[in-house]
Structure 1
Amino acid sequence: MDTAAAPREDAAVGGMTKVLPAAERVYLHVKTGVLNRSYEGGTLLTEGGLAEAVGVSRTPVREALLRLEAEGLIKLYPKKGALVLPVSAQEIADVVETRLLVERHAVAKVVGAVPARLIERLEESLAEQREHAAAGDLVAFSAADRGFHAEIVRAAGNRILAHLYDQLRDRQLRMGVATMHAEPSRVAKNLAEHAEILDALREGAAEAAAGIVERHVSWVSTLARGES
């Protein structure tokens, strides 16, 4: 299951603890902050501030920021710092369009003969989402939400499409948290729509499943236009 957990500064390798390189620690620190909105769009990050926060020199900070700029999360300004880029309406529209292309195909492909293991995974994911919703953890909820859809895409069996979908992960997590902060009622609506998708898959209802996915994924672009 996908998560948006806080960055780890070490990892267990062969029973031993391996400390991550300084640049990797800075990268994880900033990326997690952007995804969970600790660093919101419009925030100006400085090399000195990040170096102090992570406990490293400025050199690995520069390396990490270049990597994050390449991923489209920040914009570097020489001698000033790094600006966290806000999520634009165009980015939302592009992600929604891509998701619809992939997810409608995936649902149509699996709905005729849904693997029992997929149903089990979706049930587990839905239970996890309900736990995070009850705890008010929007970051964890958004990650579990995204994982629910990723399970269906993977079950369709097209590795290229699954890889393409995985590349949307960070954008989906960031948008999910931002939009649910903007419209808290969406948490309950997402849970209800996920349950509808699961029921449609259980019943092999292809047309119903496709319609629910269309409505469920498209709401983000509706919110971006300022509509209710």
Structure 2
Amino acid sequence: MTSQQDLLDTLAQVARALGNGHRLALLERLAQVETSVETLANTANLTIGNASQHLQHLRRAGLVTAHRSGKQMIYRLTDERIVTLLSLLRQVAETNLAEMERLVGQLFADEDANGALEAVSRDELLAGISSGKVALLDVRPEEEFEAGHLPKAINIPMAQLENMLDKLPRDREIVAYCRGPYCVLSHEAVQRLRQLGYRVRRFQEGYPEWKAAGLPVAS
């Protein structure tokens, strides 16, 4: 006969699968677009063998699923709510762990030395889009952009930024976004564009969080 403890032990399988930073990195990448083991390994700086092992843990916990395409195994998230789960995990850690607060502060320490420009919130970005006062800059790789992005966003991968400045408006504030709250791509874009005289800030979340909130996306 099933007991409450049996249910909790099964639930704990999901928690154990999440208990590894490399697996969280793999989930963040899969929140952008389904992709192969080889690409995931490269993104997370893992060997293909290690990436495969981590993906098997996530698969057994029901967090990812896979299908074969030719000789490759292609992985994807099983459920959009996984993005929400990761967001809640992040929020709890930032609120209750002093070490997390310290690390986040270090990650973006040089973003605005005077504290004058905070990252753009979801509500603020919605208002800016509705009024036409902001231009959206997606600095993720083209493959991720094509799988889904914020409406009317301009895609300029970080590596191509210097060569595609003519795509960016000078008469509006630019809001850069990428894979999520800790993605350094948008941070680097903001730093460089400010040096070049653009009005630019970073969206405090990323494409997956925007989509998980049920907000409009394009592809």
Q: What TM-score results when the alignment is normalised by the length of structure 2?
A: 0.28
| More strand, by proportion | 2
Higher relative contact order (CA 8 A, sep 6+): 1
